[in-house]
Amino acid sequence: MKVLKFGGTSVGNAERLKRVSTLLPKNEPCILVLSAMSGATDWLIEITELAQNKKMVDAIEKGKQLKDKHIKTANELFETKMYRKRGEEFVANIFHRIISKLVDSFDSDDSKGIVAMGEQLSVGLFHMLLTEQGKRATYLPALEYMRIDRESEPDLFYIEQNINRLLHSNPFSTIYVTEGFICRNAQGKIDNLGRGGSDYSAAIIGNVVNATEVQIWTDIDGVHNNDPRYVDNTTPLRSLSYDEAAELAYFGAKILHPQTIHPCRMKGIPVLLKNTLNPQDEGTLLTEKVRAKGIKAVAAKDGITAINIRSSRMLLAYGFLKRVFEVFDTYKTPVDMITTSEVSVSLTIDNNTHLNEIIQSISWFAQVEVERNQTIICVVGDFLATHKGYAARVLDCLREVPIRMISYGGSHNNITLLVDSHYKVQALSMLQHLFISNPIRPIANSIEV
């Protein structure tokens, strides 16, 4: 069984939903994981924010506009009058539930339930399309099997037991359609897996059903060796290892949710990244195998804050780093990069929610300096110490860019640099020039070694 995830742009209108229905495996059962239609999640979040701010008239009007968009999609999606009517009734029923939540003593607990309806809309309409086409399709409600625990981690045992129960109760189906992103939490309330969480949903499902492959369908031809939004002449990578892909995803590559890799790596399930708008392209295949030495790709992560912690008492001070990291642990704030010297520690975070509290806590035992508007540049490849010259080539390429921090050696897969965000595009362009003028073969079309 394969698991295929289609993102918001892939299901963004009736034409694209029809296209998705032509991309399904012919001789193998599959589970389809769908996002909400492009823009729908943002729209629903805005509706809940308006409601929280007591702007109920505006929230209801916004809901009616989103309803009209989905009604239009239903009318364009189906071939028969009967299914067009069913589609309209389905959309109307979902929005009746949304409006009811808004006007009947709305509170913050209702927000995630309303946002979850974006996925329910796209999945409901697509399931009807498959039924109209005469395909043996079954709807698997994500809220009946997808659950996270108290630490917001997927409860794999619960998920496996319940999704297999649903699959076994519909043994004659060949296509199973379900929502990405949404889940229930440990208290049984509607929750979600965070932005881009549909990728994560697909990976979790792939893990628990022992899928032969997980496919992530987006609107770009796989992972590129640089960010095509800022750099010209980027090229798609045809293969990456799990570790290389995870580094790129964590440090800014938008094509893949950072947590997608782990559930598939646990069971050695290949992940194939494909383009819904160009399905003939072979995409990028992620597996355990490390392929081709050298520099392969670059990613950039914005919104980084650098924190420099200085203490004259740090030299050889037992427990100093432990004390520093206990502060970040207390406020559940992950650290991206870290460098140390005799008297200081520099580190970066991408979540400033508790920044003031962190500064105040550390100030009791050290001096703290903060630099905002920083960008992490992550250069990914095979950087084993025995592979000479690759790190030097990266640093020499960026000699005109002021580098705030360098992290190298903690992983065989990356060199990580911190620069002021003002220099981000310049750094990405210089690294792309390195790919073109001094290629370490093969960069895009890798050969297993």
Q: What is the CATH number of the domain that holds 352?
A: 3.30.2130.10
442: pLDDT strictly greater than 60? no
For residue 223, give the amino acid letter: V
pLDDT category at 443 given cuts 50, 70, 90 is very low
Q: What is the CATH number of the domain that holds 129?
A: 3.40.1160.10
How many other CB atoms are there within 10 angstroms of residue 388's CB atom? 8
Cα(340)–Cα(343) distance, integer angstroms = 8
The number of distinct structural domains making up the chain is: 2
Say yes or no: 326 and 425 in one domain. yes
Say yes or no: 71 and 157 in one domain. yes
Say yes or no: 215 and 326 in one domain. no
Say yes or no: 15 and 138 in one domain. yes
- What pTM did the predictor assign? 0.89
CA nearest neighbour of 241 among 411, 443, 413, 389: 413
- The pLDDT, as a whole number, for residue 410 is 74
124: pLDDT strictly greater than 60? yes
Strands 190-192 and 182-184: antiparallel
Say yes or no: 11 and 104 in one domain. yes
395: pLDDT strictly greater than 60? yes
- Of the three residues 219, 237, 271, the one that is the final residue of a domain is 219
Mean of pLDDT values over 17-35? 96
- The pLDDT, as a whole number, for residue 360 is 96
**Structural domain boundaries, residue 382:** 296-437
Residue 131 CA: distances (Å) to CA of 25, 158, 311, 347: 16, 29, 67, 53
Q: Quick check: 331 and 357 in contact, CB under 8 A?
A: yes
Which residue spans within 13-103 are E strands per DSSP? 30-34
Q: Quick check: 88 and 121 in contact, CB under 8 A?
A: no
Does some domain include residue 341? yes
Does some domain include residue 288? no
Cα(360)–Cα(196) distance, integer angstroms = 33
Over the stretch 247-302, which tens digit does the pLDDT of each residue have? 888 887 777 888 899 999 999 999 999 999 999 999 999 999 866 667 889 999 99
Mean of pLDDT values over 425-438? 82
Does some domain include residue 166? yes
Q: Quick check: 339 and 274 in contact, CB under 8 A?
A: no
Does some domain include residue 192? yes
- The pLDDT, as a whole number, for residue 3 is 98
Cα(365)–Cα(376) distance, integer angstroms = 28
- The pLDDT, as a whole number, for residue 439 is 52
Say yes or no: 301 and 163 in one domain. no
- The pLDDT, as a whole number, for residue 290 is 67
Phi, psi of 9 (to 5 degrees): -70, -30
Q: Quick check: 35 and 180 in contact, CB under 8 A?
A: yes
Does some domain include residue 72? yes
Say yes or no: 192 and 340 in one domain. no
Q: Quick check: 227 and 252 in contact, CB under 8 A?
A: yes
Q: Quick check: 114 and 163 in contact, CB under 8 A?
A: no
Q: Is 122 exposed, middle or buried (0-12, 13-18, 19+ CB in 10 A)?
A: buried
- The pLDDT, as a whole number, for residue 252 is 75
Cα(79)–Cα(129) distance, integer angstroms = 9
* Residue with more model confidence, 238 or 410: 238
pLDDT category at 315 given cuts 50, 70, 90 is low
Q: Quick check: 146 and 204 in contact, CB under 8 A?
A: yes
197: pLDDT strictly greater than 70? yes
CA nearest neighbour of 12 among 64, 90, 63, 77: 77
Mean of all residue pLDDT scores within the chain: 90
Sheet holding 175-179, edge to edge: 137-140, 175-179, 30-34, 2-6, 213-218, 271-275, 284-287, 239-241
Q: Which two tokens stand for residue 89?
A: 């009734």
Cα(415)–Cα(267) distance, integer angstroms = 27
Please give the share of the chain, as a percent, with pLDDT higher than 90. 71
- The pLDDT, as a whole number, for residue 385 is 52
> Which parts of 209-341 fold into alpha helices (H)?
242-250, 261-267, 320-330
Does some domain include residue 367? yes
- The pLDDT, as a whole number, for residue 441 is 47
Say yes or no: 341 and 214 in one domain. no
Mean of pLDDT values over 300-305? 96
- Of the three residues 153, 186, 219, the one that is the final residue of a domain is 219
Say yes or no: 303 and 212 in one domain. no
Say yes or no: 6 and 154 in one domain. yes
- Of the three residues 183, 203, 219, the one that is the final residue of a domain is 219
CA nearest neighbour of 101 among 135, 131, 63: 63
Does some domain include residue 250? no
Phi, psi of 14 (to 5 degrees): -65, -40
Over the stretch 37-66, which tens digit does the pLDDT of each residue have? 999 999 999 999 999 998 999 999 999 999
Q: Quick check: 194 and 140 in contact, CB under 8 A?
A: no
Over the stretch 132-161, which tens digit does the pLDDT of each residue have? 999 999 999 999 999 999 989 999 999 999
Over the stretch 53-108, which tens digit does the pLDDT of each residue have? 989 999 999 999 999 999 999 999 999 999 999 999 999 999 999 998 888 777 77
Say yes or no: 28 and 119 in one domain. yes
Say yes or no: 77 and 188 in one domain. yes
Does some domain include residue 145? yes
